[in-house]
């Protein structure tokens, strides 16, 4: 990692020498260290599942105290970018280790004791040109290549979610319906290991809608049945949008659960 601590935060350095916009002199010191570590993650210096240097090594590299490094690592761990393992060190988080196949899915059956029982069925995966609205959301140009995926999520073989997913085409060359269907792990794990794209966080918009005729057929509900529309934008490092997902949820036997803090 070639990045070093900005001169403005090195004791005794000339504050006017700092030219690094990624680590502004007015931000707390640990946040500047956090930004530098994040830059290393984004550049691929430390790959998913790999250990990062020790707190002592990072403190020496950035010329700060171990306490400052520890606070930066704690913040990154809180954001699920790093994982601490007692007695082993700190590792880059990876979707391959996640216990759930559906990281951002918050749909829970009314009978919570019935187990997960969620499965998926891919309907289509094709490359096409981005429409104006899809391009705007994914920070692309209209007409740029995107990969569109349509899939069903089923609970005990009953369809409960119809998802339409759009991915930037230049990041997902070679992604096919066959490859998606063959993958038995988390879809985000596939994106991470084969395409080098890690989903860091997501933003959602929810609203109530009525099932149209086509959706009703896919979800096996009456036309006009109430559905929950969930539009999710997933970001990678630097809040770069890398996935737009529009899902229609049948909540007749499920509810949407989230934790607020």
CATH number of the structural domain spanning residue 151: 3.40.1410.10
Looking at the structure, tell me whether residues 60 and 27 fall in a common domain.
Answer: yes
Helix axes 55-62, 29-43, angle to 10 degrees: 110
Domain edge (last residue) among 64, 93, 122:
93
Looking at the structure, tell me whether residues 45 and 159 fall in a common domain.
Answer: no
201 in a domain, yes or no?
yes
Q: Phi, psi (5° rounding) for residue 237?
A: -55, 145
182 in a domain, yes or no?
yes
Confidence at residue 49, expressed as pLDDT on a 0 to 100 scale: 82
Looking at the structure, tell me whether residues 81 and 181 fall in a common domain.
Answer: no
Confidence at residue 248, expressed as pLDDT on a 0 to 100 scale: 97
Confidence at residue 241, expressed as pLDDT on a 0 to 100 scale: 97
Q: What is the mean pLDDT of residues 146-168?
A: 95
Confidence at residue 106, expressed as pLDDT on a 0 to 100 scale: 61
In angstroms, the CA 81 to CA 94 distance is 8
Coil, strand or helix: which one is 240? strand
Bridge partners (DSSP) listed for residue 209: 227
> How many structural domains does the chain have?
2
Looking at the structure, tell me whether residues 33 and 112 fall in a common domain.
Answer: no
Q: Which domain holds residue 205?
A: 97-256
Looking at the structure, tell me whether residues 22 and 45 fall in a common domain.
Answer: yes
Looking at the structure, tell me whether residues 113 and 41 fall in a common domain.
Answer: no
Nearest to 196 by CA among 168, 169, 166, 172: 172
């Amino acid at each position: 990692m070639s990045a070093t601590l900005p001169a403005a935060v090195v004791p005794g350095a000339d504050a006017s020498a700092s030219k690094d916009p990624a680590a502004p002199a007015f931000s707390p010191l640990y946040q500047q260290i956090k930004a530098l570590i994040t830059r290393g993650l984004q550049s691929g210096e430390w790959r998913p599942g790999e250990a990062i240097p020790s707190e002592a090594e990072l403190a020496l590299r950035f010329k700060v105290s171990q306490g400052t490094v520890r606070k930066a690592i704690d913040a990154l761990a809180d954001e699920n970018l790093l994982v601490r393992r007692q007695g082993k060190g700190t590792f880059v988080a990876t979707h391959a280790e996640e216990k759930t196949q559906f990281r951002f899915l918050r749909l829970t059956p009314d009978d919570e004791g019935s187990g997960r029982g969620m499965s998926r069925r891919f309907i289509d995966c094709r490359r096409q040109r981005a429409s104006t609205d899809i391009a705007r959301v994914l920070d692309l140009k209209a007409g740029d290549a995107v990969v569109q995926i349509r899939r069903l999520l089923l609970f005990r073989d009953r369809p409960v979610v119809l998802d339409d997913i759009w991915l930037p085409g230049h990041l997902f060359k070679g992604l096919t319906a066959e490859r998606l269907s063959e993958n038995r792990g988390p879809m985000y794990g596939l994106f991470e290991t084969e395409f080098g794209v890690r989903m860091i966080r997501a933003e959602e918009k929810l609203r109530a809608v009525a099932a149209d005729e086509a959706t009703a057929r896919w979800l096996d509900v009456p036309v006009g049945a109430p559905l929950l529309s969930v539009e999710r934008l997933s970001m990678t490092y630097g809040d770069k949008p890398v996935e737009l997902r529009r899902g229609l949820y049948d909540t007749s036997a499920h509810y949407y659960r989230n934790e607020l803090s």
